[in-house]
């Protein structure tokens, strides 16, 4: 009888573990597909036209606050560097988290990791320059949220490297996941806007200058919420019983569906109109 009960418990546990693993993997696959769609947009709007010498095309991106400004050579250079590195970091981040690559190509993982962490610092510091020196500011909330994001990116990236150097692989992995979340904060911001717009059948709570209640909430929420979900996931994976893991797996699945809707919206309404290869 006792043996039967404990076998049942073990089965429940392994089913819950497997469900949580599957939900996390599905989340990752959908996220990577969405991020590479973003890379496709960045490449087709900024990278390819600039490299091919017909950079005028991205000047027409009038959804930008500043973007390209005639005569502002330094500002345009920083902005161009920012979007080029955005394509690089978004591509390299996903590769860094694939376990098969870590297991079979450790030297690629190390080199890609160095590129990723350097790019994270360049994005954070370059972004701060765009906000505070170039003055790409719409509201004080927007400036505060992007400044806090830049600080979090640098803190998480530093911790990832420190734990790797100290060979604390479990902590290194946790900090790498946190870095991944904050580096993708701007991507979450875009898909979050689209999810919310589709859900409300229109731009609810958004102001003309990104100063509506939703703009302010999501300015910070776009990276704090993914970070919070990650922390809950890690704690559940490590400490929860089978019921907790099943609930987390279901919640993660719901988050993935919401993310998929946001990615679809971002592709259809934000990125696809600019993709003109
Ligand atoms: C590390 C991840 C980041 C990525 C992948 C990223 C990506 C991008 C992209 C693709 C654009 C062009 C806008 C578009 O076409 O949608 C952009 C613009 C910009 N980013 Fe970032 N960014 C990141 C981090 C940051 C940070 C941390 C800051 C601020 C501290 C920042 C500040 C800006 C500013 C001010 C603009 C110009 C916006 C405009 O003129 O409208 N970025 N970024």
pLDDT at 188: 98
In terms of average pLDDT, the best of 39-48, 64-73, 137-146 is 137-146
Angle CA 166–92–122, to nearest 5: 75
Question: Could you tell me the residue range of the domain that residue 255 belongs to?
Answer: 19-274
Mutate to test the pocket of ligand 1, among 46, 122, 130 (most ligand atoms within 8 A of CB): 130
Closest CA to 245 of 3, 22, 8: 22
Q: Is 197 in the pocket of ligand 1 (CB under 6 A)?
A: no
Confidence of residue 6 (pLDDT cuts 50, 70, 90): low
Contacts 24+ apart (CB under 8 A), 63-68: 63/270, 65/136, 65/137, 65/138, 66/130, 66/134, 66/135, 66/136
Domain presence at residue 12: no
Confidence of residue 61 (pLDDT cuts 50, 70, 90): low
User: Residue of the nearest CA to atom 1 in ligand 1?
Assistant: 183
Burial code (b: 16+ CB inside 10 Å, e: under 16) for 41-57 equals: bbbbbbbebbeeeeeeb
Mutate to test the pocket of ligand 1, among 39, 67, 123, 125 (most ligand atoms within 8 A of CB): 123
Domain presence at residue 97: yes
Domain presence at residue 105: yes
Contacts of 70 (CB under 8 A, 6+ apart): none
Closest CA to 77 of 45, 50, 41: 50
Handedness of CA 125, 107, 223, 273 (dihedral sign): positive
Domain presence at residue 192: yes
What's the chain's length in residues? Answer: 277
- Portion of the chain with pLDDT greater than 70, in percent: 92
Q: Is 222 in the pocket of ligand 1 (CB under 6 A)?
A: no
User: Residue of the nearest CA to atom 7 in ligand 1?
Assistant: 86
Distance 185 CA to ligand 1 centre (A): 10
pTM of the predicted model as reported, rounded to 2 decimal places? 0.93
CB 220 within 8 A of CB 142: no
User: Residue of the nearest CA to atom 29 in ligand 1?
Assistant: 127
Domain presence at residue 236: yes
Q: What is the mean pLDDT of residues 196-202?
A: 97
Domain presence at residue 254: yes
pLDDT at 41: 93
Q: What is the mean pLDDT of residues 46-60?
A: 77
Distance CA 7, CA 266 (A): 47
Q: Tens digits of per-residue pLDDT, 203-251?
A: 999 999 999 999 999 999 999 999 999 999 999 999 999 999 999 999 9
| Mean of all residue pLDDT scores within the chain | 92
Domain presence at residue 4: no
pLDDT at 70: 85
Mutate to test the pocket of ligand 1, among 186, 194, 210, 273 (most ligand atoms within 8 A of CB): 186
Distance CA 98, CA 84 (A): 23
Distance CA 245, CA 237 (A): 7
Ligand 1 atom with minimal separation from the 120 CA: 1
Q: What domain count does the chain have?
A: 1
pLDDT at 108: 96
CA atoms within 13 A on the CB side of 18: 6
Domain presence at residue 3: no
Q: Is 127 in the pocket of ligand 1 (CB under 6 A)?
A: yes
pLDDT at 132: 97
């Amino acid at each position: 009888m006792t043996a039967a009960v404990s076998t049942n418990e073990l089965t429940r546990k392994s089913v819950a573990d497997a469900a949580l693993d599957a939900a996390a993997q599905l989340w990752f696959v959908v996220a990577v597909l969405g991020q590479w769609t973003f890379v496709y947009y960045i490449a087709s709007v900024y990278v390819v036209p600039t490299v091919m010498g017909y950079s005028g095309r991205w000047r027409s991106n009038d959804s930008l606050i500043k973007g390209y400004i005639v005569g502002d050579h330094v500002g345009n250079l920083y902005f161009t560097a920012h979007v080029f590195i955005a394509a690089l970091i978004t591509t390299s981040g996903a590769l860094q988290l694939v376990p098969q690559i870590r297991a079979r190509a450790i030297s690629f993982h190390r080199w890609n990791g160095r590129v990723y962490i350097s790019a994270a610092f360049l994005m954070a510091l370059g972004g701060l320059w765009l906000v505070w020196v170039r003055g790409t500011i719409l509201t004080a909330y927007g400036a505060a949220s992007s400044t806090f994001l830049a600080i979090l990116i640098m803190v998480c990236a530093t911790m990832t490297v420190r734990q790797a150097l100290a060979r604390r692989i479990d902590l290194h992995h946790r900090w790498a996941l946190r870095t991944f979340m904050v580096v993708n904060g701007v991507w979450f911001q875009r898909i979050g806007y689209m999810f919310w717009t589709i859900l409300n059948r229109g731009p609810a709570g958004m102001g003309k200058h990104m100063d509506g209640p939703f703009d302010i909430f999501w300015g910070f929420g776009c990276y704090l919420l993914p970070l919070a979900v990650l922390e809950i996931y890690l704690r559940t994976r490590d400490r929860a019983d089978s019921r907790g893991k099943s609930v987390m797996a279901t919640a993660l699945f719901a988050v993935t569906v919401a993310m998929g809707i946001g990615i679809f919206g971002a592709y259809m309404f934000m990125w696809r109109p600019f993709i003109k290869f």
